[in-house]
Amino acid sequence: MDELDEEEWEDWDEDDSFERERIEAENRAAYDSTFDYYSAYRPKQPKLEIGQYVADQGFRVPFIHDQAEWEHVFDDGAAMLRSEMPQDYDGLSGLLPSERVADAALAQATQGFGHELGSIVMRGLRNGDLDPTDYMTYLSGRYSWSFYEAEHVKSAAYYGALEYLDMYQQSASRWRAIEGTNVSVFADPHVEGRYYFGVKPYIDPSTRRYQAIGGYQFDQGEYDTPKQFRKHDTPFVARQFVEFYEQIRQLPRFDATQCPVLELQQDLEGNIHFLQYLKTGQKQMLSEPFDLPSSEDTLRTFNTRGITPRSGKNMRLYMAPNLLKKGMEGEGIFCSLTRPRGIETQFASVTASFILHQAYISFQNNHFDASPLYRPSLAASLSYCENSTDALLVKIDEVIENALFRKVSPFSREAVPYLDIKVTSNGHEAAIESDWNLNVIAYDDIK
């Protein structure tokens, strides 16, 4: 948009001040590559509004433009409603479900009065008489959490981890479902040329097969090298997705120093479509590897993301806490294969500065399970580690078992076990130093 000259600005009424500020922000975004337009002007429907912007820049984005197009894709069985909240841009992700809606699918799933009622609902959704937000709120369900997960929502909201979360700002936008491969991409903030991918290939629905999400890591020089996930039929090549990611990342309205998560869809003809930009808060700050501490009591993990000072960082490592407390911010949290789980893992990843996970750190399953990859400033996995003696690994296994199942139950709401640790990470690997002796603290004492 062209800048207005001084005389034109003087003609603006005070009521136009908001629009004037918005245009000034648009102008700033054109020359300041670190300016984040969407933090200054938070979208109410981030998927749709950012999708419209990306489409204006010449990229494929499958949102619905008008009622006629919506009715057409609805009749084709490709109508998709995507949940929207303002925090979907830079807050927690995946809290509410999206849904592919089709009259035929509903008819097959219901009988009798339920079928008749469902048909009325679908007709109203198709012709515009039923608002998509009302459908998602009241029929698809406002919340998809268990009671236990809802308790974590309340806990996290209480101490401010969910700054922008307001469930009553929920809405829905209309999209066209694209058959093909779903790909999530995240650039490592500290290792030049390293990208992480979550890939769910297309499977013909007539085969009734389930296709798991495969987690991949590509470094410089590997973008054209096919990599195979053990549960996938075909290998994955990263080149075109790396290039697409960087093109989106450099668009004027985004802070180019951010390392967002992009959700993309590759159709059956090989074209890539933009679905979502999720700001992670991870800023690019490339680091060269440096030597790490080494001793018989030091655990070395090679599945690592994030850096610390060379001197390392001292902290508590809370072992699968049942409650999240304000005093846990900036500390570490251990996540086992089962505890915490689901949405709790994402809340833990927002709370802690360090996540130590029993599982591999990668895109997997959904936003919740993948959150340790891109939410905390530092994360590491016990799946890929080594040390100078097997005895240490045995001891750590015993510590974990005692913390989770024996001496102190994480299901308790009275106390939580923790370790005093020092973590040193150079972005490629991490060293964890500790006496590996469990301590216990009451939740009431974590302020």
The per-residue pLDDT for 145 is: 53
- The answer to whether 245 and 187 are in contact (CB under 8 A) is yes
| Percent of all residues in the chain with a pLDDT value above 70, rounded to a whole number | 82
80 shares a domain with 167: yes
Using alpha carbons only, give the angle 304, 315, 397 rounded to the nearest 5 degrees: 60
* Mean pLDDT computed over 424-447: 92
Count Cα atoms within 13 angstroms, Cβ side, for 288.
0
Considering the domain architecture, whether residues 392 and 419 belong to the same structural domain is answered as: yes
The dihedrals phi and psi of 346, each to the nearest 5 degrees, come to -65, -40
Query: Strand 79-84 relative to strand 99-101: parallel, antiparallel, unpaired?
Result: antiparallel
Q: Say if CB 322 and CB 335 are below 8 A apart.
A: no
Burial class of residue 101, CB neighbours in 10 A (0-12, 13-18, 19+): buried
Band the pLDDT of 298: cuts 50, 70, 90: very high
Q: How far from chain centre, in Å, is Cα 337?
A: 19
Phi, then psi, of 149 in degrees rounded to 5: -65, -35
Bridge partners, 314 (sequence order): 422
Segment 69-102, tens digit of pLDDT: 999 999 998 999 998 988 888 887 777 778 888 6
Tokens of 11: 């003609």
**Domain assignment of residue 144, yes or no:** yes
| Same domain, yes or no: 134 and 168 | yes
Residue 25: pLDDT above 70?
yes
382 in the same domain as 404: yes
Provide the token pair at 111.
Answer: 């009988």
The reply to whether 205 and 259 lie within a common domain is: yes
Q: Are residues 186 and 270 in the same domain?
A: yes
Query: In whole numbers, what is the pLDDT of the chain averaged over residues?
Result: 84
- pLDDT, position 6: 56
For the segment 344-358, the average pLDDT, to the nearest whole number, is: 89
Domain count for the chain: 4
